[in-house]
């Protein structure tokens, strides 16, 4: 047994408390992409071309019928549910990281879009959305006449 004195470090105490809280939430909720344990779900890429806003969302293991896409004003919302598979009888899991349950993610769109002319395709766990830009935000070309 050591009888050494150590200087009290409030920053170290806060870090220890933060780690303890992280462990508590991890034990209670588990590490889950839906709850933020492994990042934001679903992962989204968004970019724009001259005439469109393109959104790609990674949704592994989902069926398109379990997914809902909506635009309200300038906000795109993805909602869905990952269905739980049959439970393995007993406590025979060695590792369990896959999650199930409902999710919702809303992200602001960079420009107004025309929802009625949008296209959505789902292939290999990736949702591809093509949202045409509203006419008023599309670039317009002005012809210059020489004199």
Say what the pLDDT of residue 32 is.
44
- Integer CA distances (angstroms), 104 to 16, 108, 122, 137, in order: 32, 14, 17, 28
Q: Which residue range forms the structural domain that includes residue 56?
A: 34-85+99-137
Say what the pLDDT of residue 37 is.
43
118's tokens? 């949008």
- Domain membership of residue 108 (yes or no) is yes
- Domain membership of residue 26 (yes or no) is no
Average pLDDT, rounded, for the chain: 82
CB burial readout 2-34, b (16+ within 10 A) else e: eeeeeeeeeeeeeeeeeeeeeeeeeeeeeebbb
- Domain membership of residue 75 (yes or no) is yes
- Domain membership of residue 79 (yes or no) is yes
Does 86 score more than 80 pLDDT? no
15's tokens? 């870090």
Does 123 score more than 90 pLDDT? yes
6's tokens? 């150590």
61's tokens? 């293991």
pLDDT in tens, 41-78: 889 999 999 999 999 999 988 889 989 999 998 999 99
Q: What gap in Å lies between CA 77 and CA 93, rounded to an integer?
A: 34
How buried is residue 129: exposed, middle or buried, by Cβ count under 10 Å (0-12/13-18/19+)? buried
The number of domains in the chain is 1
- Domain membership of residue 71 (yes or no) is yes
Say what the pLDDT of residue 33 is.
41
- Domain membership of residue 103 (yes or no) is yes
pLDDT band for position 142 (50/70/90)? Answer: confident
- Domain membership of residue 117 (yes or no) is yes
- Domain membership of residue 6 (yes or no) is no
CATH number, position 66: 2.60.40.790
Q: Highest mean pLDDT: which of 21-25, 51-55, 98-102? A: 51-55
């Amino acid at each position: 047994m050591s009888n050494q004195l150590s200087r009290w470090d409030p920053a170290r105490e806060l870090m220890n408390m933060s780690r303890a809280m992280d462990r508590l939430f991890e034990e209670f909720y588990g590490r889950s992409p839906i709850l933020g344990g492994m990042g934001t779900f679903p992962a989204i890429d968004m970019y724009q071309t001259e005439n469109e806003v393109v959104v790609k969302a990674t949704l592994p293991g989902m069926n398109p019928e379990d997914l809902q896409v909506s635009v309200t004003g300038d906000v795109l919302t993805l909602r869905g549910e990952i269905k739980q598979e049959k439970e393995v009888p007993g406590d025979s899991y060695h590792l369990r990281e896959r999650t199930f349950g409902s999710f919702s993610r809303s992200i602001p769109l960079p420009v107004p879009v025309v929802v009625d002319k949008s296209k959505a395709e789902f292939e290999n766990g990736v949702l591809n959305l093509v949202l045409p830009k509203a006419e008023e935000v599309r670039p317009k070309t002005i012809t210059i006449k020489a004199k």
